[in-house]
């Protein structure tokens, strides 16, 4: 097992994080034991962050003691791996579907560093009494106004030196226009506020997305 980023390991082409809650899995992922420690396989086909790492994301910015704001937490698949990495930090998971947040609560019950929040990422004031300044803002919400939602949250919560991780889904913006044109337009908007440090599509793991590593200007 080789550590390729803080808290992220690779073995035989597969990604792993060290399980914060040994004996418990979150989405049916496989586990392996090495030197008495349990690692959970991180499936890139189930996680855009996992896919970005497989496609060469040069850094995640996430460290052992990081505070992470995760927008679009869903049932907690990727959140669980972020929680394995930021094991002494905190992951604020924002999810606006009541039904989905129930799964997130169940999946993160034993993960003491995960704080599931039922809230709309378009309205950061709904959770500003819980979330404080963070090192990383991650977003995967698949909405037409993805870039605007991201900037609003970064303005309010991201530290000056903070890192943004953003997955943009072109089809959520328009299914009739070419994806390339949509990504270019979104990038022009982002460039006013962020430096784009790296970007990549997520194929073959996920179609129709561009993933960005951003630094606040
Ligand atoms: C593509 S899924 C995220 C998957 C997740 N990132 C993972 O890898 O496990 C998008 C999620 O964002 C949520 N979402 C969409 N718009 C939202 C908003 N405005 N506020 C909060 N959550 C939102 C959806 O309910 C959905 O669960």
Which residue, judged by its Cα, is nearest atom 7 of ligand 1? 78
- Ligand 1 binding pocket, CB closer than 6 Å: 47-48, 72, 74, 77-78, 94-97, 100, 120-122, 140-143
Return the domain boundaries, the chain.
43-216
Tell me how far apart the alpha carbons of residues 174 and 131 are, in angstroms, rounded to a whole number.
Answer: 32
161 has pLDDT over 90? no
pTM score, two decimals?
A: 0.97
Q: With beta carbons less than 8 A apart as the criterion, state whether 91 and 68 touch.
A: yes
Bond from prior residue into 204 cis (ω within 30 degrees of 0): yes
| Residue 217 pLDDT | 82
Best probe residue, ligand 1, of 141, 151, 169, 211 (max atoms within 8 Å of C-beta): 141
Query: 74: CA distance to ligand 1 center in Å?
Result: 5
Q: What is the mean pLDDT of the chain?
A: 96
List all residues 6 or more positions away from 121 whose beta carbon is below 8 Å from its beta carbon: 71, 72, 94, 96, 139, 141, 149, 153
Mean pLDDT of 51-60: 98
Name the strand (E) or helix (H) holding 103. Answer: helix 98-107
Tell me how far apart the alpha carbons of residues 217 and 201 are, in angstroms, rounded to a whole number.
Answer: 23
Mean pLDDT of 167-190: 93
* Alpha-carbon torsion, ordered 140, 146, 152, 156, to 10 deg: 10
Ligand 1 atom at minimal distance to the Cα of residue 94:
21
Model pLDDT for residues 6-55, shown as the tens digit of each residue = 999 999 999 999 999 999 999 999 999 999 999 999 999 999 999 999 99
CATH topology of domain 43-216: Rossmann fold (3.40.50)
Tell me how far apart the alpha carbons of residues 179 and 175 are, in angstroms, rounded to a whole number.
Answer: 8
214 has pLDDT over 90? yes
Question: For the stretch 137-166, what's the b/e string if a residue is b when 16 or more beta carbons lie within 10 angstroms of its beta carbon?
Answer: bbbbbbbeebbebbbbbbebbbeeebbbbb
192 has pLDDT over 90? no
* Burial category of 10 from C-beta neighbours within 10 Å (exposed 0-12, middle 13-18, buried 19 and up): middle
What value does the CA radius of gyration of the chain take, rounded to a whole number of Å? 16
Q: With beta carbons less than 8 A apart as the criterion, state whether 213 and 198 touch.
A: yes
* Alpha-carbon torsion, ordered 24, 29, 34, 36, to 10 deg: 10
Model pLDDT for residues 64-116, shown as the tens digit of each residue = 999 999 999 999 999 999 999 999 999 999 999 999 999 999 999 999 999 99
Ligand 1 atom at minimal distance to the Cα of residue 169:
1
């Amino acid at each position: 097992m080789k550590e390729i980023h803080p808290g992220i390991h690779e073995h035989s082409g597969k990604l792993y994080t060290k399980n914060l809650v040994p004996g418990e899995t979150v989405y049916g992922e496989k586990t392996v034991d090495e030197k008495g420690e349990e690692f959970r396989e991180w499936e890139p086909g189930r996680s855009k962050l996992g896919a970005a790492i497989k496609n060469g994301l040069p850094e995640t910015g996430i460290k052992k003691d990081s505070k992470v704001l995760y927008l679009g937490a869903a049932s907690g698949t990727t959140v669980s791996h972020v929680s394995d990495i930021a094991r002494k930090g905190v992951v604020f998971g924002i999810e606006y579907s009541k039904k989905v947040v129930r799964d997130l609560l169940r999946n993160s019950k034993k993960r003491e560093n995960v704080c599931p929040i039922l809230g709309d990422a378009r309205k950061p004031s709904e959770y500003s009494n819980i979330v404080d300044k963070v090192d990383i803002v991650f977003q995967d919400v698949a909405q037409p106004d993805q870039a605007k939602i991201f900037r609003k949250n970064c303005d309010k919560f991201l530290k000056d030196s903070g890192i943004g991780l953003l997955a943009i889904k072109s089809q959520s913006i328009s299914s009739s226009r070419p994806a390339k044109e949509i990504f270019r337009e979104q990038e022009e908007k982002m460039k006013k506020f962020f430096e784009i440090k790296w970007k990549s599509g997520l194929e073959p793991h996920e179609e129709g997305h561009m993933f960005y590593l951003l630094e606040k200007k």
